[in-house]
């Protein structure tokens, strides 16, 4: 987490977690807060989109298989609304076509469950660093 501590002073990132399973959301929140990250969690893509501004900074961690708008549709909606948040898509059942579509729609990373916690943390830290380099957020 040393890389997070070296971010510019003006940059205050959040990790936006979107998962329709409360226990999974809670696990992500506990894990990421233990690393000192600021986290906001949402039960649906629709809740996230209606509660955050397009100029928010940090990154999004979302499950692919969501009730309502799925992860791929979320990527499309974020792009159409002008969000620039790097988005990490996770799923327990990915196929090459889905992964390719996610990357085409702008996914920063795609992780298939189960994945090592270190892989998730590395993807989040790298996404936040990239976001901080792309803009000035306050």
Q: What is the pLDDT of residue 109?
A: 94
pLDDT digits (tens, 9 = 90+) for 71-125: 999 999 999 999 999 999 998 887 778 788 888 888 999 999 889 999 999 999 9
**How do the residues of the chain divide into helix, strand and coil, expressed in percent and rounded to 5?**
45, 15, 40
What does the pLDDT average to over 26-49?
Answer: 95
CATH 3.40.50.2300 fits 12-137, yes or no: yes
138 band by pLDDT with thresholds 50, 70 and 90: very low
Whether the predicted pLDDT of 8 surpasses 50: yes
Please classify residue 112 by burial: count the beta carbons closer than 10 Å to its beta carbon, then call 0-12 exposed, 13-18 middle and 19+ buried: middle
> Which pTM does this prediction carry?
0.91
Give domain limits for the chain. 12-137
């Amino acid at each position: 987490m040393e890389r997070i501590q070296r971010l510019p002073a003006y940059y205050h990132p959040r990790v936006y977690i979107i998962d329709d399973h409360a226990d999974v959301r809670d696990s992500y929140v506990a894990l990421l807060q233990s690393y000192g990250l600021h986290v906001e969690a949402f039960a649906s893509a629709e809740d996230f989109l209606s509660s955050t501004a397009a100029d928010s900074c940090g990154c999004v961690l979302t499950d692919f298989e969501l009730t309502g708008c799925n992860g791929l549709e979320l990527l499309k909606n974020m792009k159409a609304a002008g969000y620039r948040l790097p988005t990490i898509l996770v799923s327990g059942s990915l196929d090459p076509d889905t992964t390719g579509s996610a990357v085409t729609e702008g996914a920063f990373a795609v992780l298939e469950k189960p994945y090592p916690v270190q892989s998730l943390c590395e993807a989040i830290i790298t996404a936040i660093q990239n976001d901080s380099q792309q803009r000035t957020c306050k």
